[in-house]
Structures are given as structure tokens and as C-alpha cells.
Structure 1
Amino acid sequence: MRIHSKHFRLCWDSNDSDPIHVDTWVRAALTPDLEVLDLYIRPPQRFEFPSTLFNDAKSLVVLKLNGDIVLNAPPSFSFPSLKTLLLESVWYANLDTFSKLVSCCPSYELEINAPALEYLYFRGYIIKDLFLGNLSNLVEANVGVDFDSSEDYGNRIRDFIGALSNVKSLHLDLYLTRCLCNATEFNLPMFHNLAFLNFHVGACLWHVLPHLLRRAPNLAELVLHKENMECYKSYEEDSSIIERRFYEDVPICISSHLKTFHFIGFQGLTYELEFVGCILKTARFLKTMIGSSAHIDSGKKFRVLKELLMFPRESRTCQIAFS
């Protein structure tokens, strides 16, 4: 069977079908002209994805893999035409694969070069030697990577974040933000193009956010996603951190560019109110401040909203809501 098409999409969700048919179709679709490969596969057994993809699909523009798919890639590879990459719920065959590794695994190197890539969605667990190469046209990145500590731990995190410095939209989940605990402002690159930031914050991470905000002078929309944790040392300590970091030197993006601020997981705790108060007092062009939480009842939400509405606001047009 030969498939002469630039686009190949397959949705396979079956418990009683033979995965060999999927293998036949995918191998037939991997032609030198293929531009879009989109697979959603839930077979009875994991599907071994043909490794020829990484050498033969040079014309690929969009790659989306979702499901029980086992990837077995060479340690370095290049997709010169790739613009969109989505890997979700996939499996990794060995240490040379675009990888999800445990900390006891031997060291390996994996470099990703995709100069045409515009959208990157990547989730990993313990990463030892993952290198982002040429991603010069990247517009949006959604990443969650937990690095294994080593002698060059700080430098590798800095280099990883540095490869994302041209993006306009950046989503950092708790795995990656946790790796930035020991970061300083000078460890981080400048994000001159960054307009949207979704930052997951957990214990001991409040000091990282102002460092990052000072490196994103044109940020217009901030989403702060607080994880539901009980491991904060004390509310007083968090309030002290926020007060020191923001009142000493307000990031220019807050005072001059921020228009939308969304605090997900907001519960009206002392240090949270302190943080929101800092934003409202200094954000001159803020149009919308939204707090949201699934963990407090409607009565407390109303009381917290009343307290927020009493805060002084630098922006006369700022609207405050709590849901």
C-alpha cells in the first residue's frame, strides 16, 4: 500500500483491533512529502513508532503524537521544517530517546534542533542531559522539565531557559519553576518578546517570580498558578519575601505594561493578599485582575472580593473579579 498525501491523521481507540494495521498505515504515510502527522492511538498494546520518522520525515511541519506510542529516536535529530510539536502521554524506549528518565539512569545527551518550530509542548520527568539547540523562531512554549542535579545544574537550567528567550508566550509548570529555586536575576535571559507568562508557583518559589518579571520588560498578561500545597514555611515569611522583592524594585513590566493578571488558586491568605496588593498599587495600565479558586466556598469568596475591592489601585480602569 502507498499513501501519497502531505497530511496523515489517525484516531485509533480500540481494544480488539490488531496494532499491526496502524504500523502498516504509518509506515506507508512516512513519505518524503509528508507535512502533517497527527496520531491519537489507544491500542490494546503499546504501539512501537517507526524510528525512520526521525531520519526520513524532513518535510514534516506538524507532528502530534498522543497515546500509547513508544518512541525510539536517535540521540540527535533535526526537523528542519517543523513548526508544531505536540507529544502527550507517549512512552520512551531507551536512553537515547526524546526522553522521560529516572535519576539513576546513565548520563546521555539529547539535542533538539528545529529552527522552523513555532510551538513547543514538552513534558519530562528527570532529565540529565537535554539540550535545546536552534529554536530561533519559537513563538509559544509550554514546558515542564524536572532536571537531575549535577555539577553544572545551574548552567544547564540557564541554557535550557535561554533557548526559549525569543518566545511571546511561555508556560512554566511546577517541575521547571522548582528547578529555578536557586536562580538569581542574572541567571535568567532577557525575554524581550514575552507578552504572556503562565507561572506555576509552589513552596519557596515566590522569590523566583520577580526575578523572571524583571527579565520580561514587555509582559502584558500574567497568570499565576498556585499549586495546592501545605508546605509553606509560614505566611509571614512569604509576605516578607514579596514585600522585599517588589517594593525595593518594581519590575518595569508591572508598572508600564501589565494589562491582565489572573491568580489561579487564590485563597485570600495573608501573603496572597500582600502579593495582589503589590500588583494593584504599581500596575498603572492594569485592566483586569481575576482571582479564582476551587477550594473555598462562595461566602469566603465574597468576603475576599470585598477586601480586594478596598485595595488602592494605580489604574483607575482596573476591574477586579473573584470566581
Structure 2
Amino acid sequence: MDIISGLSDDLLIKILLLVPTKVAVSTSILSKRWEYLWMWLPKLQYGHRREPEREKLRCFLDRNLPLHRAPVIESFRLELCNTRFKPESINMWVVVALSHCLRELEIVYETYPPKPNILPSNMYTSKSLVILKLDGEILLDVPRMVSLPSLKTLKLQSVRYVNDETLQRLLSNCPILEDLVVRLREYGDTMQKLTVVAPSVRSLSLCIPYSHEIAEYVIETPSLKYFKLVDYSNNDHYVITENMPYLIEAYVDCCCPDIYSLINSITYVKRLTICSEATLDGLVTLVFNQLEHLEVCLCTVLFSSQLVQLLNASSKLKRVDISLMDGHDPRQDMDYWKEPSTVPECLLSSLQSLSWSAYTGEPEERAIVGYILKHAVHLKTATIKSYGSDVWNLEILKELELSPRASKTCQLMFE
């Protein structure tokens, strides 16, 4: 007997977990010792990349999955893209996995034309399910009887909803849900109103693509600590949000002109990343009394009054980063820089770090950097990073290096 075959079953199963499920299954031909060992694996991942493999996978799962021996399946992942799998087959596989006290279920399913519901009704009453991730042409049809007492993570990407109440019906029956990700579909989604009322959720990521004709979304998550909103919908819509008093970090990338409710609800945040086409001038009482780290997209800085408004609202600010958010490419000229009548409090009392990425050296950019250097009393570092592969212009470098600095210890660095 070889050395490996002499190891205990538990140890061999741990070894098999280090390789893809397909490879683990292939060890069954090695000897009698290995023939059924893979059937004790607590983590299963199945998928296919080529169409000829589809029928083999279907036959394999139909024949072997009901015979799986592990009392608890920690995770069950299906990646079924461009397939013609029958919905009843997928439904049965999920039912089998759930019968093994399944803790994590992930399904990636892309097919055309869309198929009927592939999810079994008992999934919505699983006592063991802790993580649920669904991606693609999956219809979410939540029954009246719903109870997911152990679910902590829910990730829904580009799935279909029966109606506007579907998502909230699901959320209302997840009492300890902590992490929620919702990405709406780009095309073919009829959802008009999105409601997220989840008292226990601590992390929320919501994405609304350009083509989605949303009319309204409501967010009520009083325990939230991390919030990410990407709202690119060009359809006029309302945003209704409640206060988030425990919020630590927020990421807001929003085209919606009506964001007053949103901004006012995140004023307790300590770290904020923001890109907004909406003017903040109407928020005259805006105060970020806990904000220490501000990241501003260059799209927002194009409207220089926006930057001044954010600085004025953040008296405890320690760090400012100006850069391009992922996928952003501002092509319009920056507004004429007009120095504020009063110096923002954060420049006089708290700001220690300034970073400007994708710096082109345009006059308005140089004016803003010069203003901050001139007034930031406690500034320790100012890092200026050139745009793309542009070679630094010696005149621009010299001008920045000779700019007056309120802080004698400030180090000016170029990258």
C-alpha cells in the first residue's frame, strides 16, 4: 500500500478539498480505497465550459449526487452558463444538497431564452443555510412561507424578481442577515420600486445599471456599517433613505439628481468615497462631523464648488484623495476655481494628507492644489500622481514646489 492510501479518511478528504471537485472525483479509479472517498467531500463545485460536457455533467449529478455521503455539505456551487439544463434537474440537485444541512449555496446560471423557476421552495425554509449567492437568469419567486433563520450573507446579481415586493418579502424573513449585495439587471427587468428594509444588515452593496428604469428605491438599514451605492440609471427616480448612525464607510457613485435624502442619511460616516453629478449647494446644513477620510472622484471635482462644499462640511477631515473612480473618464473642462470666502475648518485644524491621482497640470487643478498647500496648517504629505504615462512638465513641477505652504513639515512628492 502506498503511503498516501495509508492515511486516515479524514486526512485524505482534506487533501481532496485542495483540488477541484472534478479532479477529486477522478481519484475514484485509483483503487478500491479511493472509489467512494470523494462522496464524503463537504464542498462541491460543478460546472462546464464546453457544450459537449453538459450531458456528461447532467448524467453524473443525476446518478451520483443523491448518493453523496457527507452529513453536512458546507458549500454547493453550480456554474451553468449557456446551457440547456432542464429546470427540474437543477431544482432536484439543490433539493439534494439542502437535505445535507447545506450551509452555502451559490448558483451562476445563464441561459437563453430564460427558463422557469429553478429554485425549490424548501430553499426558502432552510434552517442551515448561512450564505446564498445567485447570479444570472434565476427567477426569485418567494413563497408565502419563508424562514431563513441562519442566513447571514445574501448576494443577488442580475436575477429576476416576480414583482416589486419579492425582495423585501425575502429580507423580512432573514432575522440575522448581515451582508447584502443586490445588483439589478441591465435589461428585461420590470422592477420599478426597490425596497430594502433590513434592521440587522451591516453591509449593503446596491448597483443600479444605466438601462434600468427604476422609479424609486427605499433603504432602511439602521445597523449599517458599510454602504456601497452605484446608481447609473438615467431614469428620473426618487431616493428615500433613513439615518445610518453606525455607518463607518460609504461609497457613493450616483447620477441621480435627487440625492439629498441619501447624503443626509450618511453624515455619520468616517470614510466617504463619492462621485456625484448632483449639486450639493442645496445642502447648506450638510455636516460630516465624523468624517476623517474623503475620496473624491475627478468627475465631482470638475465642479470645484462641490469640493469646497465637502471640505466645509468635514471639520475633522485628516485625509483627502482625489482620483478617478473605476470606469470613469471626465472629458469636460473643470469649472473656474474661485477661492472660498472663508478657509474650510479642516484645512486649519486637521488635514494631514493630500493625494491627487490622474493629475494633468491644468490651471484649475494647479490652483486647487496651491490653495490647499497654502492653507493646510497641519499637512504632512502631498502626493501628486501624473495622468497615465505623461511625462512631468518641469515648469509644473517647479511651480508646485515653489507654492507657499502653511505647513513647514509638508513633504511634496511626485509619482
Shorter-chain TM-score bucket reads 0.7 to 0.9
How far 1:51 moved relative to its partner? 4.3
Code of the residue aligned with 1:311 in structure 2: it is: S
> Which of 258, 262, 271 is matched with 1:160 structurally?
262
Code of the residue aligned with 1:144 in structure 2: it is: D
Q: Does 2:408 correspond to 1:309?
A: no
Q: Does 2:165 correspond to 1:63?
A: no
Distance across 1 between alignment mates of 2:222 and 2:179: 11
Q: Is the 8 A contact 2:256 2:277 kept in 1?
A: no
Distance across 2 between alignment mates of 1:169 and 1:271: 26
Q: Does 2:165 correspond to 1:74?
A: yes
How far 1:33 moved relative to its partner? 5.8
Identify unmatched segments of 5+ residues in structure 2.
1-65, 91-106, 108-117, 196-206
Report Cα offsets for 1:70-106 as digits up to 9, x if no partner: 355528846664444334575544213368488996x
Q: Is the 8 A contact 1:267 1:296 kept in 2?
A: no
How far 1:221 moved relative to its partner? 1.2
2:293 maps to which residue? 196
Distance across 1 between alignment mates of 2:402 and 2:285: 37
**Aligned residue pair count:** 295
Distance across 1 between alignment mates of 2:366 and 2:84: 55
How far 1:127 moved relative to its partner? 4.9
Which protein shows a greater Rg? Answer: 2
How far 1:304 moved relative to its partner? 3.0
Q: Does 2:246 correspond to 1:179?
A: no
SS at match of 1:238: coil
SS at match of 2:240: strand
2:218 maps to which residue? 111
What percentage of aligned pairs have identical amino acids?
Answer: 23
Report Cα offsets for 1:97-152 as digits up to 9, x if no partner: 368488996x844322122221111212235122112433221111222225xxxx
Q: Does 2:312 correspond to 1:210?
A: no
Distance across 2 between alignment mates of 1:280 and 1:213: 14
Q: Is the 8 A contact 2:154 2:180 kept in 1?
A: yes
2:245 maps to which residue? 136
Q: Does 2:414 correspond to 1:319?
A: no
Could you say if the C-alpha distance between residues 317 and 87 of structure 1 is closer, same or farther in structure 2, counting changes exceeding 3 Å?
farther
Equivalent positions of 1:7-26 (< 5 A) are 10=77, 12=79, 14-16=81-83, 18=85, 20=87, 21=90, 22=107, 23-24=118-119
> Which of 273, 281, 289 is matched with 2:382 structurally?
289
SS at match of 2:355: strand
How far 1:206 moved relative to its partner? 0.6
How far 1:318 moved relative to its partner? 1.7
2:227 maps to which residue? 120
Distance across 1 between alignment mates of 2:73 and 2:224: 18
How far 1:19 moved relative to its partner? 8.5
Could you say if the C-alpha distance between residues 225 and 104 of structure 1 is closer, same or farther in structure 2, counting changes exceeding 3 Å?
closer
Could you say if the C-alpha distance between residues 228 and 144 of structure 1 is closer, same or farther in structure 2, counting changes exceeding 3 Å?
closer
Q: Does 2:85 correspond to 1:85?
A: no
SS at match of 1:166: coil
Distance across 1 between alignment mates of 2:222 and 2:149: 12
Distance across 1 between alignment mates of 2:362 and 2:239: 38
> Which of 248, 251, 255 is matched with 1:146 structurally?
255
Distance across 1 between alignment mates of 2:254 and 2:76: 28
SS at match of 1:97: strand
> Which of 335, 339, 346 is matched with 1:253 structurally?
346
Code of the residue aligned with 1:191 in structure 2: it is: F
Distance across 2 between alignment mates of 1:9 and 1:259: 48
1:275 maps to which residue? 368
State TM-score, norm by structure 1: 0.74
Code of the residue aligned with 1:280 in structure 2: it is: L
1:170 maps to which residue? 272
Distance across 2 between alignment mates of 1:73 and 1:202: 33
Q: Is the 8 A contact 1:75 1:109 kept in 2?
A: no
Code of the residue aligned with 2:194 in structure 1: it is: T
SS at match of 2:255: strand
Code of the residue aligned with 2:246 in structure 1: it is: N
- Larger RCO (CA under 8 A, 6+ residues apart): 1
Q: Does 2:332 correspond to 1:231?
A: yes
